[in-house]
A and B are shown apart, each in its own frame.
Chain A
Amino acid sequence: KQEVTQIPAALSVPEGENLVLNCSFTDSAIYNLQWFRQDPGKGLTSLLLIQSSQREQTSGRLNASLDKSSGRSTLYIAASQPGDSATYLCAVHTGTASKLTFGTGTRLQVTL
């Protein structure tokens, strides 16, 4: 059974800092991995998708890496801004199951 863990559960940083969010998963036989952002009371916004054959993906100030063999992914946010404050969710798609397994998220607060 696939399990996804995200560390830390919560993080508070001052504006401008670079930060790293961690995600680990127990079953390395994944189809892809997605990072999402969820604002309070809102839906999920897809940030980055990494296919199992890829090592990383970049979008603006965001960079996600994937090490499938060790069951790890990181989301790097450069030059953080208060607007980045949200909960960040990592989810893995196990190809045989056709569903996403989510971590419990990292709640990020970027302060002025």
Chain B
Amino acid sequence: NAGVMQNPRHLVRRRGQEARLRCSPMKGHSHVYWYRQLPEEGLKFMVYLQKENIIDESGMPKERFSAEFPKEGPSILRIQQVVRGDSAAYFCASSPGQIEAFFGQGTRLTVV
């Protein structure tokens, strides 16, 4: 049973480009969470999704950020028109319900 898979592990984007981060949850897990870890800061919740539904997006910036978890395929966190302040580690977690969360290795986004 593979763990939570995130790709890419490292992503470099120029300012103004789009960044797409992918997350495949553990088998049997229908709950996906995205967190962001800014340099020298703790992890902050961004969004909670179940298949085809956004349940809680209270931590998502209002502009440029979006997330989806389609019926088929991985969850996608999309950042449009990236800025230097978006440079961070983005972690995905999955769970079979509102219990133990399992985290992926993260995607480290660098905006140059």
A97 within 8 A of B: yes
Within the assembled complex, what's the spacing in Å between the Cα atoms of A99 and B101? 9
Interface size on A, residues (CB 8 A): 24
A96: min CB distance to chain B, Å: 10
B53 smallest CB distance to A (angstroms): 12
Taking a contact as CB atoms closer than 8 A, the residue among A42, A101, A104 that contacts B41 in the complex is A104
How many Cβ-Cβ contacts under 8 Å join chain A to chain B?
58
Determine the distance from Cα of A101 to Cα of B42 in the docked complex, in whole angstroms. Answer: 9
Task: Name which of A17-25, A28-36, A59-67, A75-83 contacts chain B.
Answer: A28-36
Q: List 11 A-B contacts (CB under 8 A).
A: A32-B99, A43-B91, A43-B103, A95-B98, A97-B56, A97-B58, A98-B31, A100-B43, A101-B45, A102-B44, A104-B42
